[in-house]
Structure 1
Amino acid sequence: MVLVSDRPGDERRSTVRVLPLVQARKLAKVPFVEMADGRLQGVVSSGSDPARVYVSSIGAADHALSCSTNNNRPCGGLGGRWACNHIKAMVTEAVTQYGGERVGRFLRVEADDTFEILDQINGTSSSTQAAVVFARFLRHLSYLELPTTSGPIPELHWFPASGAVR
C-alpha cells in the first residue's frame, strides 16, 4: 500500500488515503524508494559489493542528482547532469511502485515511463545528506523486527485501520 496526501486539506486530517501499489516490486536491488522531502529518493544495493548500499535522490524542483554510499562517499558513476546506474534503478523501481505518471508529475516532467523521465532530467550533481534517507530506511526495516501481534502497536498508531479509509 502507498500512503498519499496530495489532496488539499489532507495535512489537517488524522487519516491518509491509501492506494494499492501499481505493481509488486523486487526489493533486492532497490529495497527502499519514496517521494518525500521534495525529492525522489531511495536506497540502492551496490552491484559490486553486497555489503554496500547507495542513497540516491533527484530533486523534484531542480532535478539535482545525488548519489553516495550510506557513509557519504560519492558514487563514481554520477557525472554532472547524467544519472548513474543507482539513480536509474531507483527511478525504475519508483515507476513500478507509484506509476510513471505520478513519478513524472512529482518530478515536474512530461513523462510517464522510466526512459522518458530520465531523458527529461537535466539536473546538476549535488550532495544530499544520505544519512537522513538511510535512517528512514533503517526505521522501516525496524518494523519488520516487531513481534507478530493482532493487537495495536503504539509505534504504528498512525497507520489507517482497514475499513477506516475512504
Structure 2
Amino acid sequence: MSDWERSSTARVTAPARPRKLAKVPFVELAGGRLQGVVSSGSDIGRVYVSSVASGTYAFACSTNNNRPCGGARGSFCNHIRALINEAVLQYGAERVARYLKVETAGGEQPSASSVEAGMSGTRPAQADTKDAAPVFSRFLRHLAYLELAPSAAPLPEMQWFPPTRTVA
C-alpha cells in the first residue's frame, strides 16, 4: 500500500500553471458552474462569491454576506473576470471552455480572454445569488484543512468513506 493510500488526504491534481492565491483564493468547477471566492480590491476584510453557469453563462457576484456586487450590472464584473483568469490557470483553458460549453472564435486555442469573449457575446443573464452560501462554506472548510498538521490519521468528517481492503 502506497503512502497516499494510508494518508487522510487525497491526491490533488496539479494546477495547469502556478497561481497566486491572494486575489482568488478558491476556484472550482462544480455544480454546473465555475464558482469561487474573490478578494475585494478595496477592502481587505471583504470577499465576493462569484459564479458563471455552464451553457447559459448566467452570472452572480455578491459579498460573503449576500450583498450584490456593484460592478455586475448587465455584464461581467472584475471579480468574475478574475475568477475566469484564475480558473484557466488552475484547470487550463481547454478544460474551462469545455466545462462552461464555450466555443472560441475560429476554433483557436482557448485562453482566458477567448473564454470570456465567447460568453460575453451571448449577453449572459444575471443569476440569483442563492448558491453563494454553499460555495463560501466550502471555501471556509478548505481553509480549516490548511491549519491541520500533516498526518496519516483519519479525519473524523471523512469516516463515512468505506475502508479499503488490502490483498494478501
Q: TM-score, normalised by structure 2?
A: 0.78
Determine the C-alpha separation between the residues in 1 that align with 2:93 and 2:115: 8
User: Deviations 1:91-124 (Å, cap 9, x if unpaired)?
Assistant: 0000000000000000101231111111111311
Measure how far apart 1:18 and its partner are: 5.7
Larger relative contact order (Cα-Cα within 8 Å, sequence gap ≥ 6): 2
Alignment of 1:35-54 (within 5 A): 35-54=29-48
Letter in 1 for 2:96: V
Gaps of 5+ in 2: 1-9, 105-109, 162-168
Percent of matched pairs sharing the same residue = 56
Counterpart of 2:19 (choices 17, 25, 32) is 25
Letter in 1 for 2:95: R
Partner SS, residue 138 of structure 2? helix
Confirm or deny: 8 A CA contact 2:55 2:102 kept in the other structure: no
Determine the C-alpha separation between the residues in 1 that align with 2:153 and 2:135: 30
RMSD value over aligned CA atoms? 2.0
Alignment of 1:39-118 (within 5 A): 39-80=33-74, 82-111=75-104, 112-118=110-116
Runs of 4+ aligned structure 1 residues displaced above 2 Å come to: 16-20, 147-158
Partner SS, residue 19 of structure 1? coil
Q: How many residues align?
A: 143
Measure how far apart 1:51 and its partner are: 0.2
Q: Which stretch shows the higher mean deviation, 145-154 or 25-34?
A: 145-154
Counterpart of 1:135 (choices 106, 131, 137) is 137
Gaps of 5+ in 1: 1-15, 159-166
Change over 3 Å in CA distance of 1:17–1:26 after alignment to 2: closer
